[in-house]
């Protein structure tokens, strides 16, 4: 068992132990948010044929060479083509075909002029200026070309991509299966928000915060409920989680206090402990183990610690398991917008908000940075990475940070 390892070592050790889950087919109607499991190529061109971008007349540009306002060119209108129908006739010199937006360009025509720019008299149109060959024609394959990869393995199916798949005639798509994540809350003090508050008790926020995060990532959270700080109960629920889910997360009971018995429970189960404790604040007492080929991650119970270690360590694992590219949080540098007066003996992550001003990244703290404080997590979309041995931080200095939460690259 390793101990006191760096965040980066922890991330690497765990990522090596997981792979993306199985694939399945889903109908396009329920594909949003899922992850593409195989490159998707289009079998057709988009658009499928040269078409008109507006209501107008299809004709030969050459016929308009001598047109001007006092000497208009007059063409005979020989057909009308609505969108959804093929022209039956061909445009020849001296003729025009009326076309609606989206209608195929008739053979023989090489330009479209819009309705508003001509004068129509019975079956004749008058044109007042010369036209350039090719204007107002949307070309076949202008959007996507037959054979082109339109979605790569690992891409998130966002609404426009769902639309693009529909446009190329795909109605079912191969995606990675949803992973199930079991979440167990340990602690004698915890009660569910649906229960009556009793003295000495607190509401269980971790289950709801982390469960919501799993859902937002497209995974399926499975609640293992609340267990008291009792080894037998923890052992039983973790075993249940291993049967039900692809990954098991626990919160609470991982420090070295008298009631911190998740590590003992994991040993009792016979799980292989990968590491216990990482060298950062908050959330240093994290414990991780492998059992029956699945991972169990025991996070600190402090809400902010649980959230931050979930962001930095569990989210990359979930992404890898779900087949999402670029698992690790994106790093960036930014200017600190305010002072942070405490020195940091240990490496520390601060809850912050990234804002851009004149293309410069600024990070401002989102409030109280204590381990148990929930409020400053709400606006947090970035974590400032403060190296061990840093003194107080000053407004205006450059800092390193990572993107986290729903503002992460996953959703960009």
| 408 sits near ligand AMP (criterion: CB under 6 A) | no
Least Å distance, CB 204 to Mg ion, is: 12
Report CA-CA distances (Å) from 221 to 32, 271, 307.
18, 22, 15
| 344 sits near ligand AMP (criterion: CB under 6 A) | no
The β-bridge relationship of strands 287-291 and 294-299 is antiparallel
Question: From ligand AMP, Mg ion, none, which one binds at residue 155 (CB under 5 to 8 Å depending on kind)?
Answer: none
| 303 sits near ligand AMP (criterion: CB under 6 A) | yes
Least Å distance, CB 302 to ligand AMP, is: 4
Pick one of 252, 263, 283, 298: the residue that binds ligand AMP (CB under 6 A).
252
Binding mask 137-176 for ligand AMP (x = CB under 6 A): ----------------------------------------
The nearer residue to Mg ion, 189 or 325, going by C-beta atoms, is 189
The nearer residue to ligand AMP, 104 or 187, going by C-beta atoms, is 187
The nearer residue to Mg ion, 228 or 343, going by C-beta atoms, is 228
Question: Which burial class, exposed, middle or buried, applies to 9 when counting CB atoms under 10 A from its CB (0-12, 13-18, 19+)?
Answer: middle
Interactions with ligand AMP, residue window 255-284 (CB under 6 A)? 255, 257
Stretch that binds Mg ion, among 21-29, 99-107, 294-302, 348-356 (CB under 5 A): 294-302
Question: From Mg ion, ligand AMP, none, which one binds at residue 209 (CB under 5 to 8 Å depending on kind)?
Answer: none
| 187 sits near Mg ion (criterion: CB under 5 A) | yes
Sequence-separated (6 or more) residues with CB below 8 Å from residue 12: none
Pick one of 104, 241, 283, 301: the residue that binds ligand AMP (CB under 6 A).
301
| 298 sits near Mg ion (criterion: CB under 5 A) | no
Residues lying near ligand AMP in the complex (CB under 6 A): 185, 187, 189-190, 202, 204-207, 251-255, 257, 300-303, 372
- Interface positions with Mg ion (CB under 5 A): 187, 252-253, 301
């Amino acid at each position: 068992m390793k101990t006191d390892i760096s965040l980066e070592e922890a991330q690497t050790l765990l990522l090596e132990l997981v792979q993306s889950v199985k694939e399945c087919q889903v109908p396009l109607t329920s594909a949003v948010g899922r992850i593409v499991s195989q490159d998707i190529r289009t079998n057709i061109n988009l658009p499928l044929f040269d078409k008109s971008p507006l209501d107008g007349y299809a004709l030969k540009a050459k016929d308009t060479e001598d047109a001007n306002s006092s000497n208009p060119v007059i063409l005979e209108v020989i057909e009308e083509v609505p969108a959804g129908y093929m022209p039956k006739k061909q445009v020849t010199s001296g003729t025009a075909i009326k076309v609606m937006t989206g209608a195929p360009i008739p053979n023989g025509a090489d330009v479209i002029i819009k309705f508003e720019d001509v004068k129509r008299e019975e079956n004749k149109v008058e044109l007042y200026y010369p036209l350039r060959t090719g204007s107002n024609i949307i070309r076949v394959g202008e959007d996507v070309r037959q054979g082109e990869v339109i979605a790569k393995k690992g891409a998130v199916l966002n609404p426009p991509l769902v639309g693009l798949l529909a446009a190329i005639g795909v109605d079912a798509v191969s995606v990675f299966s949803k992973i199930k994540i079991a979440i167990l809350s340990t602690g004698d003090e915890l009660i569910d928000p649906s229960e009556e508050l009793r003295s000495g008790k607190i509401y269980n926020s971790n289950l709801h915060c982390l469960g919501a995060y799993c859902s937002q990532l497209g995974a399926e959270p499975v609640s293992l409920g609340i267990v008291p700080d009792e080894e037998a109960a923890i052992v039983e629920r973790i075993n249940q989680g291993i049967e039900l889910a692809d990954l098991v997360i626990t919160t609470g009971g991982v420090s070295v206090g008298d009631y911190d018995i998740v590590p003992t429970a994991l040993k009792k189960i016979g799980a292989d402990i990968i590491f216990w404790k990482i060298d950062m604040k908050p959330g240093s007492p994290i414990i991780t183990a492998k059992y029956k080929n699945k991972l169990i991650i025991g996070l600190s119970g402090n809400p902010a610690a649980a959230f931050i270690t979930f962001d930095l360590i569990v989210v990359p694992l979930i992404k890898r398991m779900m087949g999402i590219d670029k698992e690790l949080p994106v790093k960036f540098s930014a200017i600190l917008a305010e002072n942070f007066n405490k020195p940091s003996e240990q490496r520390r992550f601060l809850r912050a908000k990234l804002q851009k001003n004149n293309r410069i990244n600024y990070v401002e703290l989102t409030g109280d940075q204590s381990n148990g404080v929930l409020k400053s997590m709400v606006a947090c979309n970035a974590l400032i990475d403060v190296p061990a041995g840093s003194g107080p931080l000053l407004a205006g200095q450059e800092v390193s940070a990572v993107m986290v939460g729903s503002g992460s690259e996953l959703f960009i």
